[in-house]
Structure 1
Amino acid sequence: MTSRGHHIWSVVHDERRALVADLRRLHPEQWHTPSLCTQWDIHDVLAHLVDGAKTTRRGFIRRMLVARFDFDKETAAGVERERRADPQDTLAAFEAVLPSTNTPPAPLPTRLVEIFLHGEDIRRPLGLTSHYPVAQVIDALAYQLRTSTGMGGGKESAAGWRLITTDAEFAHGSGPEIHGTALTLLLAVSGRPVGRADLTGPGAEDFASQR
């Protein structure tokens, strides 16, 4: 594994650890809170993260064959497989795979995209906040911007806009300017709702209205 790979996994493991610490504080009813992934509640998203941490390249291919290459079907099966009756047991399963470096056959930056996006899918509806490493959020954002929406990215969502981060030296694209933190822009181009107040610039209102 390259030094960059080691660093990515170090960040992923740190973020998994931070998410576990947040989830330990939840009251039982909070596990049923709808997440930013509209079809899932908080417990479902955690089960998806457990499944992701267990998924190997060979295992992913085998499971896609079983699902007849229906990615949504395969993902739903993973959530069902890893979602325990008691959310605390699902959390324990997540803790058990915290140091995992398993990954499906996808570029390594997708592991950053996964932990940042799903971390926010869980935290924002619960009113929780976290401080993510900006340099790695930029890496995740850059990956999303060069990846089509059909492959889970945000390339088309960002087309026609000039995205400028306010917490790092990063800009992408051409068109009306939208200013926001790296995390806000990552969420926006990845199809998550962001508040109009979180964006500035001449294109902010129109951009936010399309999320």
Structure 2
Amino acid sequence: MERDTEALWNCAHAERAALARDLASLPGEAWRGPTLCGNWNVEEVTAHLTAAASVGQWRWIRSMVLAGFRPGVHNQRRLEECLGSTPAGTLQEFRAVIGSTVAPSSHIAAYLGEVVVHAQDIRYPLHLPARPGLESLLPVAEFFAARNFTLPSRDNGAGLRLVAADAPFEVGAGPEVRGSLLGLVMCLAGRPAYLEELEGPGVALLRERITRVEN
């Protein structure tokens, strides 16, 4: 289903604002805590989200060229530009891009997905209860199931029947994986922690795929 660009950006802005509210409540030490996003801590993931909302197409191309087309190098350089001198400064930088519509390409559902996934990367280890709205999760789930973009999300779900128990989302054919739409989105994004929200005969295959190399 083709999604309206303005609606997608509105969802991205709402999810950024929700994350900013959560971040504002964190004690200082929590900013150095782990996330579900590799070796990045809470402050680094926040700075990455600021960078993602600040780099347009030509700046992205130039940055990738200078990074030798190594996404990890590009991401680390841009992240470091968006770190404040303190966590409060990093949060201020993030708040400044809440309403941004800057992106390297027209794949807005993918960039909404980046906000959704990284927000949960932060929230899950901190046991923060907030979850993205279904209006944000549905276009992300559709995009992740349909194609690989910055993540092998389509490959992770290939040959499986993915069924949300809390939203009108059913795709694919094969052994069923059923559960929360958030659980499906996060597992398509390669986050094994969210396997606990899923069940069905296809979970074992999904688990094998996303624990082989964690993102």
Give me the TM-score of the superposition, normalised by structure 2: 0.90
Q: Percent identity?
A: 31
Deviation beyond 4 Å, 4+ runs, structure 1 = none
Q: Where does residue 109 of structure 1 map in the other structure?
A: 109
Q: Which amino acid aligns with 1:156?
A: D
Q: Distance in 2 between matches of 1:195 and 1:158?
A: 14
Show CA shifts across 1:88-134 (max 9, x none): 10100111121111111241111210110011011101100223221
Q: Where does residue 155 of structure 2 map in the other structure?
A: 156
Q: Distance in 2 between matches of 1:196 and 1:94?
A: 29
- State the aligned residue count: 209
Deviates more, 1:193-202 or 1:105-114: 193-202
Show CA shifts across 1:26-85 (max 9, x none): 111101111101120011000001101111111111111211211111011111111123
Q: Where does residue 31 of structure 1 map in the other structure?
A: 31
Q: Distance in 2 between matches of 1:127 and 1:143?
A: 27
Structure 2 unaligned runs (5+)? 211-215
Structure 1 vs Structure 2 CA RMSD: 1.9
Q: Distance in 2 between matches of 1:200 and 1:165?
A: 11
- Report whether the alignment pairs 1:97 with 2:97: yes
Structure 1 unaligned runs (5+)? none
Q: Distance in 2 between matches of 1:51 and 1:72?
A: 13
Q: Which amino acid aligns with 1:13?
A: H
Report SS of the residue matched to 2:192: coil
Report SS of the residue matched to 1:54: coil
Q: Where does residue 129 of structure 2 map in the other structure?
A: 129
What are the within-5 Å matches in structure 2 for residues 49-64 of structure 1?
49-64=49-64
Q: Distance in 1 between matches of 2:35 and 2:62?
A: 29
- Report whether the alignment pairs 1:4 with 2:8: no
Post-superposition offset of 1:10: 1.1
